[in-house]
Chains A and B, each alone.
Chain A
Amino acid sequence: MPVARRPLMKRVLIHLGLLPFLIFALFPFYHMTLTSLKKDRELYDRHAVPLIIRQGPTLEHYSKLLWETEFLTWTKNSLMVTILATGISVVIGTVAAYALARLRFVGVSSFGTGIFVTYLVPTSLLFLPLAQVVNWLGLADSKWALILTYPTFLVPFCTWLLMGYFRTVPKEVEECAMVDGATRIQALWRIVLPIAIPGLVCAVLFAFTLSWNEFIYALTFTSSSEQLTASVGVTSELIRGDIYFWGSLMAGAILGSVPIVILYVFFLDYYVSGLTAGAIK
């Protein structure tokens, strides 16, 4: 049946075309995992095949990472900074987004433009003067500096994202509630927010991901080991001089990504919709 076989043929070809892209996307993770599980003897044997484990896997790099470095402290710091910065930013962003989407007042449109502009400002433009501000506030070398500064990129992002969601909530629903005597705040809290829950989930996920992945501020504002976040701790503390502990380094890179991977597996569709809604950085 040639008619039925041709679409199948095409489908197979499409998948073959996707293969190089999938290898490109996934190979680094495969190789990192493999490296973290290999024994040192095999890892540094230049004649061994690097693509497989021949001499049996080992967890020694992981145990070294967990018990002989500050990795658990860095993870705890990352969690604390991320959760607080996300919470603060989503709240500030939500109320600002509601005002921008719904209320008419003096300066609303220029404020909207301001939010959009700061949404585009890259962190690498401001880290030098912000380091000075952090010093003045007495927050030098403290994770609290991160909780203070992360909202500078999270709030514009959440505001922009949520504004879009709030606009999709029909005005009539809210007006109905206000005719029944509710104030605007009550209408926001009881009517609009429940409808906009998918948007809020999206904002929380992206804010969490952005602050977990943030690097340049964390690298600049913190330096002592007990204040570092996971990505800075792994990249700066596990590398000593010219001797690299590649196994533990890769183990750190993998474990440091675990919280994001967990969220990602459960909320993949939100990531896709948030990305296309204009979630960029």
Chain B
Amino acid sequence: MAAVRADEIPVPRGRPRPVARLRTWLDRESVLGPVLVTPAMLLLVLLVAYPFVMALYFSLSNAFIGRPSHFIGIRNFVHLWDSDAFRQTFQNAFVFTGIAVAFKLVMGISLALLLNEQLWFKRMIRGAVLLPWVIPTALSTLGWWWMFNSLYSVVNWTGIALGIMDPPGPNWLGQKYYAMAAVVTVNVWRGLPFFAITILAALVAIPRELYEAAEADGANANARFWHITLPLLKPVLAVVVLFSTIFTFSDFNIVYILTHGGPINSTHLFATLSRMLGLEVGRIGEGAAVSLYLFPLLAFVVWAQLRFVRKQAY
């Protein structure tokens, strides 16, 4: 025993070995917590926050690909408001988002109500409904591009065969309003599953007894929908609409592939115009200024979400 003690003399008394010490130190919540979040935090600071600041700087400079940039104040923003392309884009963004989200909401509620009934092949039907949402958007949009082709459009062929359209039918991607209708259609097609499935989950959670009690009181299906279903769905609808608004507003893939913003800027959104100005033309400053127009809406959605979602989470 004495010999063992003599061996321990170099180590200061009362302190465990370094590895064990590190272990207990790491086990404290105030230490382990920051250690565990550090990788995520570094990533977000270096590759999200820092680029965001860069975007702010770019938007206030005359940055051009391959040239040194200078601070020019808000001249980019002023210049944008003088350009027809930008004003058109600004209007498009609201028209596109407003119409697409409205369709997704109404169709999403209808589809969810149908899916909530007794169904044959329930799983298969749900699988089919969700499919457009999981397939790569860029690739499925190619399919729509082909369906809207000016010469071989299957949409027009069907419309003419059914007698709804006069031959040759609209040139979907080449005419102003039709092009907007086309990009909205594809956005609704791809976003509808998210609405339907999320609303369905909320529908399933509504207690049956409420409907039974209402039925006993003589409320018909219509009244039950407006006075029970809709009010109880409201929180979920709010969250779904907010999420969808920001992602529809910032959409890129569909417009880039279907119309590239044309004809004559009539379908450009902030993301596609920003890419065109920033990378295809090379005016990074102006491109960044355009993309920053996404920010106010983003800030609003974040604020609104924090009020709704946070209340549930904490």
Listed in ascending order, the chain A residues whose CB lies under 8 Å from chain B are: 7, 10-11, 14-15, 17-18, 21-22, 24-26, 28-29, 31-32, 35, 43-44, 46, 49-51, 92-93, 95-96, 98-100, 103-109, 111, 113-118, 120-133, 148-149, 151-152, 155-156, 159, 164, 183-185, 209, 212-213, 215-216, 219-220, 230-232, 234-235, 246, 249-250, 252-254, 256-257, 260-261, 264-265, 268, 271-272, 275-276, 278, 280-281
- B275 part of interface (Cβ distance < 8 Å): yes
Known contacts A22-B125, A128-B279; decide if A114 and B138 are in contact (CB<8 Å).
no
Closest to B107 in A: A21
Residues of chain A lying within 8 A (CB to CB) of residue B106: none
Residues of chain B lying within 8 A (CB to CB) of residue A155: 40, 43-44
Residues of chain A lying within 8 A (CB to CB) of residue B233: none
Known contacts A25-B193, A126-B55; decide if A105 and B30 are in contact (CB<8 Å).
yes
Question: Within the complex, what minimum Cβ distance (angstroms) separates B182 from chain A?
Answer: 13
Known contacts A21-B111, A21-B129, A216-B253; decide if A31 and B194 are in contact (CB<8 Å).
no
- Tell me if A104 and B33 are in contact (CB < 8 A): yes
Question: Within the complex, what minimum Cβ distance (angstroms) separates A252 from chain B?
Answer: 8
- B223 part of interface (Cβ distance < 8 Å): no
- A149–B47 alpha-carbon span in the complex (Å): 7
- A21–B301 alpha-carbon span in the complex (Å): 29
- B74 part of interface (Cβ distance < 8 Å): no
Question: Within the complex, what minimum Cβ distance (angstroms) separates B100 from chain A?
Answer: 14
- B26 part of interface (Cβ distance < 8 Å): yes
Question: Within the complex, what minimum Cβ distance (angstroms) separates A25 from chain B?
Answer: 5
Over the window 114-128 of chain B, the binary record of Cβ atoms lying under 8 Å from chain A Cβ atoms (1 yes, 0 no) is 110111100101111
- A149–B119 alpha-carbon span in the complex (Å): 43
- Tell me if A103 and B253 are in contact (CB < 8 A): no
- A173–B217 alpha-carbon span in the complex (Å): 47
Chain B contact residues, majority secondary structure: helix
Listed from nearest, the 4 A-B pairs whose CB atoms lie closest are A105-B33, A124-B271, A122-B250, A129-B54
- Tell me if B129 and A22 are in contact (CB < 8 A): yes
Question: Within the complex, what minimum Cβ distance (angstroms) separates B190 from chain A?
Answer: 10
Question: Within the complex, what minimum Cβ distance (angstroms) separates A130 from chain B?
Answer: 5
- B179 part of interface (Cβ distance < 8 Å): no
* 12 contacts across the A-B interface (CB closer than 8 A): A11-B120, A25-B128, A25-B131, A26-B128, A28-B189, A50-B154, A104-B29, A120-B305, A125-B295, A129-B288, A155-B44, A257-B135
Residues of chain B lying within 8 A (CB to CB) of residue A26: 128, 131
- B274 part of interface (Cβ distance < 8 Å): yes
Known contacts A121-B298, A250-B143; decide if A216 and B252 are in contact (CB<8 Å).
yes
Within B2-27, the residues touching A (CB, 8 Å) are 23, 26-27
- Tell me if A31 and B154 are in contact (CB < 8 A): yes
Residues of chain B lying within 8 A (CB to CB) of residue A219: 256
Question: Within the complex, what minimum Cβ distance (angstroms) separates B97 from chain A?
Answer: 12
